[in-house]
Every structure is written in C-alpha cells, then in structure tokens.
Amino acid sequence: MDPVRTEVVDGVLVVTLDRPSANAVDVATSLALYDAFARLERDPALRVGIVTGAGDRFFSAGWDLKAAAAGEAVDADHGPGGFAGLTELFERSKPVLAAVNGLALGGGLELALAADLMVVADHAELALPEVRVGVVADSGGLLRLPRRLPSAVAREMLLTGRRMAAAEAGRWGLANRVVPAGELMDSTLALAREIEAGAPLAIAAVQEVLAATASLDVAQGFRAMRSGGLPDYARMLASEDAVEGPRAFAEKRPPRWQGR
C-alpha cells in the first residue's frame, strides 16, 4: 500500500498520509509527501492543498521510531522538502491546510505547523514529546511553535512534551477552527474554497510577502515589499486580475480570474 494517497476535489489537492497504525513518517514517506506537495506547486489547475491522516486516531505520530530502531538515522536525508515533505519546503506559493484528524505528535505536529492553516478535530491532541525520547523538535517545532503561541506556553510544551487538547489549541489561535470529527474534511474543504475565491496571483503574493517579511518590523517590511525584489507581488500588481477585481466589484458580478 502506498504511504501517501492523493485526490483532487474541485481544484484542491487532498493529500492523505496512510501508514497504519500511527501514520508515522520514514524517509520513503517524506519523499512521497514531497512529491505530492511539489505536484500542488507546479500544476496550475490546483489552487490549495490539504494534508490529513487516514483514520480518526492519528494525524501522524511523527518520526517512525521503528524505522529509527532498524537503523534510519536521526539526521537522515528526508529529501528536498525536509521531514514529511513540507517542513523545509520554503519557496511555495500555494496554501496548504492541515486537517488534523487525531493525535499530532512530534513530527506530526511539525507537519501541521508547516501548513499555512490548521483545522483540528475536537478530539485531537497536539504535542512535541521529542525530549522524552532523547532528541528535540528540530523539524520546525522549535522554530515555529514559539511564533504561534505565547512564549511560555510554547516553551512548556517543548520542555515537557505535554499534550495540548484541541479546545486549548483553538483558544490560543494555534488552530484556525476546531470542529467535530465528522465535519473535519467538509470544514477544511470549505476553508480551502474560501481561499480559492481569491485571485491566484494575489494569493501567491500574500504567501510571498508574508514569508519575506516574517522577521522584519513594519517599516522594514514596507521597504522589502516596495523593493521590486518580490516577483509574485510584482506580477500581481501588473496583472489582468488586478484590473478584473475592481471591475467585477463595480459591475456587481463575480470576478473571472485568469491567473495573469
């Protein structure tokens, strides 16, 4: 059985991690996930991606400790997208949503954190327990979690490995939406369709500007945005869609995006 399944639903690429029983990730699975996310990026017919896990118990238990025990090194090369195919896939323009269907532990949470938005089933739990097995969350957890949570909360999770319930993730804003398990995919697809309603080049420009200015203050961010060094932002400004949007608004009709 392939460890990763893909399905296209109305221009959304749904990527399902399917490795019973815990959807753990080894090198081969990372490479398969990368292939799926690379397909999303290069196919103009695909606008948004969703990554989820098979079943309702695990989104992903993270690094496959059985593979590690069999000799897969802790610093193994997981391919151009890094662990789970997404954690180091920095230069991408299309949004990825994580539909967290169950436990997201260690590298599983790091995969969800690498996505742009997170929809979480109400029974799910999130944790970075790496210190309990002698390593650290160095596939993005150490870097991304403190940017998404108050420092003290993120530090507690990283130092203790404690689990965060879905409701708490929603209160802190780590989860964009917390929904009943039976509504998870419908809710995530609905959010994806809200993104699809925007102009493709504008969505790419948002992604590019956010990435380029993440470590800058507002004044520095403005300078970077106006520098001419952000190609997706420049393409958006000069696009036919930038003319079509205001025209459609004035004519009280839905815009017809061309992606150019």
**Could you please report the per-residue DSSP string of the chain?**
--SEEEEEETTEEEEEE--TTTT-B-HHHHHHHHHHHHHHHH-TT--EEEEEESSSSEEE--B-HHHHHTT--TT----TT-GGGTTT--S--S-EEEEE-SEEETHHHHHHHHSSEEEEETT-EEE--GGGGT---TTTHHHHHHHHS-HHHHHHHHHH---EEHHHHHHHTSSSEEE-GGGHHHHHHHHHHHHHTS-HHHHHHHHHHHHHHTTS-HHHHHHHHHSS--HHHHHHHTSSHHHHHHHHHHTTS-------
Catalytic residue among 110, 168, 208, 244: 110
244 is catalytic: no
Token pair in block for residue 213: 């200015």
pLDDT digits (tens, 9 = 90+) for 207-254: 999 999 999 999 999 999 999 999 999 999 999 999 999 999 999 999
The CATH code of domain 4-196 reads 3.90.226.10
Domain parsing of the chain, residue ranges: 4-196, 200-250
Catalytic residue among 7, 130, 168, 183: 130
pLDDT score at 229: 93
| Confidence tier at 77 by pLDDT (50, 70, 90) | confident
pLDDT digits (tens, 9 = 90+) for 106-142: 999 999 999 999 999 999 999 999 999 888 999 999 9
pLDDT digits (tens, 9 = 90+) for 3-40: 999 999 999 999 999 999 899 999 999 999 999 999 99
208 is catalytic: no
Give the pLDDT mean for 163-190: 98
